[in-house]
């Protein structure tokens, strides 16, 4: 069977400027940060990014890599407003497709199911309709009490590539989450033409279910193109139960001018250099 292991650089090498890229996780939780950092070291730009946004968006926006963002929010959770995203938005750096959290989810479902759209009871009456003039509505084809209800027809959120971070994976592309919430990582993988799974730890297939229930097997290899092992790769977002969010570092990220932060932590040659820079910073704080 196909061994899908690859380094972060190879994942990024398969991405092209102008692509639509989905990023898994939620807010500042289990984000594929190692892949985002690899992307920042590349020349890939002009991206349409689809994400329940966290620091992945802050980093890409600050670095000027986003042409269009599709999201319902961008937040660092413990710090409600993402400062780098905020600054980029207020400068008018990129186009925004702002949709509701549920519309976003049904857009992923539609894409994963090869449907052009799915009806959702959300959006009508709100300015989501005003700022997305391309959105259409559908009326229920069935008679029911109270008349035929009108819904938003959320278009499929189809992507060229998806990047997700999971706790464990095997070489074949079977991915496992061990934390409390799968977020929508399985849907991201199924909604994309190519999906790349970053994991905390690579294990043999038989290891996956040795101590964990089969329901933890969130992502199946048929929807995965590449597997990357990057310990601490979701840093500084949370990756329960392997580690919590690095709140001290997140605070540093949120309060440091972008050029300074990028110079100190993102100017190295690879992910290893980043992790060393973070360790050095933590040592200074003691």
Partner 1 sequence: MSVSRSEYCVIACAEAWRDNGEVLASPMGLIPSFGARLAKRTFSPDLLLTDGEAMLVGLDGTVEGWLPYRRHLTMVTGGRRHVMMGAGQIDRFGNQNISCVGDWERPKRQLLGVRGAPVNTLNNPVSYWVPKHSARVFVERVDMVCGVGYDRAAGARYHRIPRVVSDLGVLDFATPDRSMRLASLHPGVTAEQVREATGFNLVIGDDVPYTREPSADELRLIRAVIDPEGLREREVKA
**Where on the chain is the footprint of partner 1 (CB under 8 A)?**
26, 53, 71-75, 80-81, 85-86, 89-90, 92, 98-103, 105, 120-128, 130-131, 146, 149-150, 180-184
CB of 228 to partner 1, least distance (A): 24
Hey, which bits of 92-182 come out as E strands?
95-98, 117-120, 136-139, 150-155, 159-169, 175-176
CB of 136 to partner 1, least distance (A): 16
CB of 127 to partner 1, least distance (A): 4
Pick the closer one to partner 1 by CB: 26 or 117: 26
CB of 133 to partner 1, least distance (A): 12
21 and 159 in contact (C-beta within 8 Å)?
A: yes
**Alpha carbons 15 and 38: distance in angstroms, whole number:** 11
258: left (phi over 0), alpha (psi -120 to 50) or beta: alpha
Dihedrals φ, ψ of 177, to 5°?
-105, 140
Pick the closer one to partner 1 by CB: 43 or 90: 90
Cβ contacts of 83 within 8 Å, gap of 6 or more: 58, 254, 255
Longest CA–CA separation in the chain, Å? 67
CB of 273 to partner 1, least distance (A): 31
Pick the closer one to partner 1 by CB: 130 or 210: 130
Pick the closer one to partner 1 by CB: 19 or 102: 102
Pick the closer one to partner 1 by CB: 75 or 174: 75
């Amino acid at each position: 069977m196909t061994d899908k292991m690859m380094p972060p650089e190879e994942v990024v090498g398969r991405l092209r400027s102008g692509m639509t890229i989905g990023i898994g996780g939620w807010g500042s939780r289990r984000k594929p940060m190692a892949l985002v950092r690899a992307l920042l070291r590349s020349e890939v730009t002009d991206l349409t990014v689809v994400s329940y946004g966290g620091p992945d968006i802050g980093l890409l926006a600050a670095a000027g890599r986003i042409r269009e963002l599709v999201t319902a929010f961008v937040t660092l959770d413990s710090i409600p407003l993402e400062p780098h995203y905020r600054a980029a938005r207020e400068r008018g750096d990129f186009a925004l497709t702002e949709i509701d959290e549920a519309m976003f989810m049904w857009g992923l479902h539609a894409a994963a199911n090869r449907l052009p759209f799915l009806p959702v009871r959300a959006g009508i009456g709100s300015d989501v309709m005003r700022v997305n003039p391309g959105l259409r509505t559908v009326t229920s084809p069935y008679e029911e009490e109270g008349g035929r209800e009108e819904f938003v027809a959320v278009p499929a959120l189809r992507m060229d590539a998806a990047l997700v971070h999971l706790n464990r994976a095997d070489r074949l592309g079977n991915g496992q989450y061990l934390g409390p919430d799968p977020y929508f990582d399985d849907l991201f993988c199924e909604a994309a033409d190519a999906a790349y799974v970053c994991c905390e730890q690579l294990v043999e297939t038989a290891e996956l279910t040795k101590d964990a229930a089969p329901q933890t097997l969130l992502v199946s290899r048929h929807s995965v193109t590449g597997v990357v092992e990057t310990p601490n790769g979701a840093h500084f977002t949370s990756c329960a139960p392997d580690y919590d969010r690095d709140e001290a570092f997140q605070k540093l990220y949120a309060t440091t001018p972008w050029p300074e932060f990028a110079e100190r932590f993102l100017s190295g040659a690879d992910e290893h250099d980043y992790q060393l820079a973070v360790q050095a910073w933590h040592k200074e704080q003691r």
